[in-house]
Amino acid sequence: MELLAKKVKLIRPKQEGYWHRLGIKLKKYLPIMAFIVPAAFMAVLFGYIPLIFLLAAFKTNFNLSIYTPFQALFSPNWSFVQFTKIFGENADEFFLALKNTLVINGIKLVLIFPIPIIIAIMLSEVKNATLAKLFLIILCLPNFLSWPTVIGIWQNFFRQSDGVINSIFGTNIGWLTSDNGPNGISLFRFFVISFDAWKGCGWNSIMFYTAIVSIDKSYYEAAELDGANKFQQTLRLTLPSIFPTIALMFIMNITYILSCGFDEINLLANLDPNWKLYETTLDYYLYNQALAENADFSYATALGLFNSTVSLTFMLVGNSFCKKFLHRGLW
């Protein structure tokens, strides 16, 4: 009898508190939690420690010295003068950069964004798998070329001497430079947008293509029986079915509206000596402020901080919007 009581006691589950459960979990997971350490170390080193230098954005003047960085960072000359400089003293430059960025990204959003969707719809019409794959391989290729390569390729077409366009039409136009461009118009925006489209459209279509391929085929059979032709099927069936993907990509593009590819803009800017005068974007302005000969550490950091904060806000809002209405987030 006593023995039985002892057994029953053994079988009865222990009262498990939060800490007890945590202890068991830790015992189970602590060995693999060590796997996080290398990545976390790198994240701290280049993601978190540099954030300390953002304090420099709140200084009147700031001379960073490698030997006494923290003395300078915590010296008591706090102020918001760098931020008033962005919107006061340098407002012209800043708002020009902001306007150009918004214009370029806005045009991309309206004119370039639909192209991958169209490519995906047309690609889904190709029933021969080998052929579809071949199209996909060709159209995705530019995405894997570097920006110097892409600009180099198109430079062969648009350069002034020996450029293909000029030698076909017998003209002598410096397409990539603003001073002797066609009728003195700078084609900068056109080039940024179209080179970007050339590079990215095929690749961006893959996401829509996989969404279309995963639509249930019986819907299409039903639509065919009802006498809907391909145009009607696309409009009434394909587009509504892939709408979540479209919305997700659209919101994702909106969240990136303050950054329009530094890489290509820097390259195009280098090709045009007069370029900086009237076409600059936020990324490029930031880079120029940071890496100029006599860079003002405080001002550049304040600009960077402003840009990062606004981008972060955009992304968080965009992500929570996606999670709420589309039930899937950006991350």
Partner 1 sequence: MIHKKHLKKLIRKTKGDRLFLGLSYGFLIFFSILVILPIMNLISFSLTPEGNNAYVRFIPEGFTLSYFAYFFKDSQFITSFGNSVLLTVGVTIVSNVFMALAAYPLSKPDLPMKKPILVFFIITMLFGAGILPTKFMLQGLGVLGTLWGIFLLSINNVFNMLLYKSFYEGLPKETIEAAEVDGVNNIQLFFRIVLPMSLPVFASCCFFTIVGTWNAYSSVLMFVGSTHPESWTLSYYIYYLVSQFNPTGSSIIKTTNLVNYQSASIVISTIPILLIYPFIVRYIKSGITLGSEK
Considering only residues 169 to 198 of the shown chain, the ones binding partner 1 according to CB under 8 A are 198
- Least distance from C-beta 311 to partner 1, angstroms? 8
Q: Is 211 left (phi over 0), alpha (psi -120 to 50) or beta?
A: alpha
**13/31 with CB nearer partner 1:** 31
Q: Which of residues 92 and 162 has its CB atom nearest to partner 1 in the complex? A: 162
Residues within window 260-319 making contact with partner 1, judged by CB under 8 A: 262-263, 266-267, 270-271, 286-287, 290-291, 295, 297, 300-301, 303-305, 307-309, 311-312, 315-316
**Distance in angstroms (rounded) separating the CA atoms of residues 209 and 219:** 17
Nearer to partner 1, 165 or 277 (CB): 165
**H, E, C per residue of 175-233:** CCCCCCCHHHCCCHHHHHHHHHHHHHHHHHHHHHHHHHHCCCHHHHHHHHHCCCCHHHH
Interface pick for partner 1 out of 72, 98, 104, 151 (rule CB under 8 A): 151
- CB-based contact 241:215 (threshold 8 Å): yes
Query: Is 126 one of the binding residues for partner 1 (CB under 8 A)?
Result: yes
Q: Does 116 bind partner 1 (CB under 8 A)?
A: no
User: What b/e string do you get for 319-329 counting C-beta neighbours within 10 Å, with b at 16 or more?
Assistant: bebbeeeeeee
Q: Is 133 in the site for partner 1 (CB under 8 A)?
A: yes
Q: Does the footprint of partner 1 cover residue 125 (CB under 8 A)?
A: yes
CA 126 to chain CA centroid, Å, is: 30
- Among residue numbers 215 through 234, which ones bind partner 1 (CB under 8 A)? 221, 224-225, 229-231, 234
Query: Which 2-61 residues touch partner 1, going by CB under 8 A?
Result: 22, 25-26, 28-29, 31-33, 35-36, 38-40, 42-43, 45-54, 56
Range 90-109, binding partner 1 (CB under 8 A): none
What are the phi and psi torsion angles at 59 (to 5°)? -120, 150
- 245 touching partner 1, by CB under 8 A: yes
CA–CA dist 282, 71 (Å, integer): 31
